[in-house]
Structure 1
């Protein structure tokens, strides 16, 4: 019969062995069965567990941007307002947002069935076709407003006011999400957008605005920080970045999240690429 030893028993046997009281052969016959709490309490590989966001407090002048993928970012404010851009049924942030913005060029930019627990659902188009929609809401320490733009229709024409550029004013920063932008901006639209500290830019160069047009837009906006989105492959992303490098610096982040503040913005405009899906 083989003896089953607890961890405490093993320690006692080794102490006796060192003291010369127990022969070494006695140790060989002992099998160790971990205590139940050791089996239950020891976690597996981290990668085997679902990804969960780890909340970290933000200073009053900081904003966290996390790239979920495609055109969806999670924007978090110092007072814990969570915003998801171009909220849809395919790519979503890992937490339920308080506010979602949507555009309707394709179903990857909106959903017809947002979670009922979302307090503010801001659609970038009006219920009446061709009419502009206007949002200007304050949620704790975040102001969200929009500037309507046009999109190409499926018939090859133009849908007036079918897209919105959403502007988020938080922590003394202005962050603009260009949505599914299809044209360069008029001076009136630039005036409505106002000063921008960070801009989230679709860079596919085909479904949205072509590369030259998009570079014209970001040049006009003069944001210190530009973050690419809405690309479908590494090739598409690099094609845009190769063109952008002719005028701007390009930097890559190892993580999909970045915390920004007025004091940490680049001194010269640059693209920051966040990994996403």
Structure 2
């Protein structure tokens, strides 16, 4: 009887088909199907967050320049050069790998490395891409990092020395962080090392770097899809740089200007045959945060997801795949189902709001126990818990899209109101987690 009730609830709690809302659907977790989040925190400080929930922070600043230092956790910190407004690595939590662009002599340190966290491992790996064996370790969610030597001035470093440029490639998106670039023109060798670029993070504030006029000459050389200006004067910055206005005023014809009221941009891999569209995106340094009832409801969902992860994390792969004698679902199905529902509902809303960047992600498993085929039969409980967190992080990462959505009207692309959906997700995590905990008492539950 309990199984029948659970099945009825599961069937009722389904995602409307993508065809119903004319939204594209992706039935896989392939990384380049999903957007990367790029966050600008002011000055040269940038965060990059991937589908696999890997986070890279570049050029974290100190508390002397006017900005409040954000509390960030990362897997990798990159430092383009050793100035205090770019190298505050101690401010980043999570015991990240730290890779510095300059060596002790002030020369650019050659870096061509990969970062990843492999399935069934809680540790990140950071390795050189030197041999074929090294490159074969690369997965669809690996982060590739390469340093490119550059000058902090237009006199080959005679005034301010060197700076590294960092090219970061993840989830099919190539991102170039230009550090404190002072060159008014890139060399042929630099252009070769840079290669194709989707997103260019470019200093435009002058004084210590290129300014808002000469920066466009660099853009013309690199020809990125998207340019995000960084390292310029804001209401918080104490360093006397130029504001972003001159750079915006000199925007060439044919470019699209997008001014964003928060610090995050979602960028998806561009199809190879896509028509070239060039965008200038001016971000604010302040992150979007939910407020009021939305903040409370999202926190409740987040807490329920975290509590559920604690139950699954200690389980072995064998326990996750254990088939109960009463014919109910395996623990693995419950983990996949909770993750798939949360991701499915919110990605459908996001894709309706911003269809050029987001797709509906359908990772929900088959409902009937005999039809269930695990997505990753070798994953242990800790990895399934990390997958749940990846979906939850995806929802939070792009929740700025929910700004202004009425809590009590059907959300875009959905039959659910946000209030009902968030409350249901809270209950959904609790109910399915409780079902799994009951299986621990059944006859035949494996010891490991």
Q: Which residue of 2 aligns with 1:102?
A: 79
- SS of structure 1 residue aligned to 2:81: coil
Structure with the bigger RCO (C-alpha within 8 Å, sep 6+) is: 2
- Using the TM superposition, name which of 109-118 and 91-100 deviates more: 109-118
- SS of structure 2 residue aligned to 1:211: coil
Q: Which residue of 2 aligns with 1:146?
A: 147
Contact 1:146 1:164 in 2 (8 A): yes
Higher normalized strand content (fraction of residues): 1
Change (3 A) 1:116 1:242: closer
Q: Which residue of 2 aligns with 1:54?
A: none
Q: Which residue of 2 aligns with 1:238?
A: 245
Contact 1:74 1:85 in 2 (8 A): yes
Q: Report deviation, 1:250.
A: 1.4
- SS of structure 2 residue aligned to 1:109: coil
The correspondence for 1:261, drawn from 250, 263, 268, is 268
Change (3 A) 1:205 1:115: closer
- SS of structure 2 residue aligned to 1:107: coil
Contact 1:250 1:270 in 2 (8 A): yes
Q: Which residue of 1 aligns with 2:96?
A: 119
Q: Deviations over 1:160-211 (max 9, x none)?
A: 5x20110101011110000000102101101101110110111113320133
Structure 2 counterparts to residues 245-256 of structure 1, below 5 A: 245-246=252-253, 248-256=255-263
- SS of structure 2 residue aligned to 1:101: strand
Q: Which residue of 1 aligns with 2:61?
A: 88
Q: Which residue of 2 aligns with 1:165?
A: 165
Q: Which residue of 2 aligns with 1:137?
A: 113
Q: Which residue of 1 aligns with 2:49?
A: 76
Q: Report deviation, 1:254.
A: 2.6
Q: Which residue of 2 aligns with 1:55?
A: none
Q: Report deviation, 1:93.
A: 4.2
Contact 1:163 1:180 in 2 (8 A): yes
Partners of 2:211 and 2:283 in 1: CA distance: 21
Q: Which residue of 1 aligns with 2:227?
A: 226
| 1:212 partnered with 2:208 | no
Partners of 2:171 and 2:207 in 1: CA distance: 34
Change (3 A) 1:210 1:273: closer
- Using the TM superposition, name which of 131-140 and 163-172 deviates more: 131-140
Q: Bigger radius of gyration, 1 or 2?
A: 1
Change (3 A) 1:263 1:110: same
Structure 2 counterparts to residues 187-206 of structure 1, below 5 A: 187-206=188-207
Q: Report deviation, 1:60.
A: 1.7
Change (3 A) 1:149 1:204: same
Count residues with an aligned counterpart: 216
Contact 1:225 1:271 in 2 (8 A): yes
Q: Report deviation, 1:245.
A: 4.5
Q: Report deviation, 1:132.
A: 3.0
Change (3 A) 1:116 1:274: closer
- Using the TM superposition, name which of 87-96 and 180-189 deviates more: 87-96
Q: Report deviation, 1:273.
A: 0.9
Note the residue ranges of structure 2 that are not aligned, 5 or more in a row: 1-28, 117-141, 236-241, 287-448
Partners of 2:148 and 2:163 in 1: CA distance: 9
- Using the TM superposition, name which of 107-116 and 170-179 deviates more: 107-116
Q: Which residue of 1 aligns with 2:438?
A: none
Higher normalized helix content (fraction of residues): 2
Contact 2:74 2:92 in 1 (8 A): no
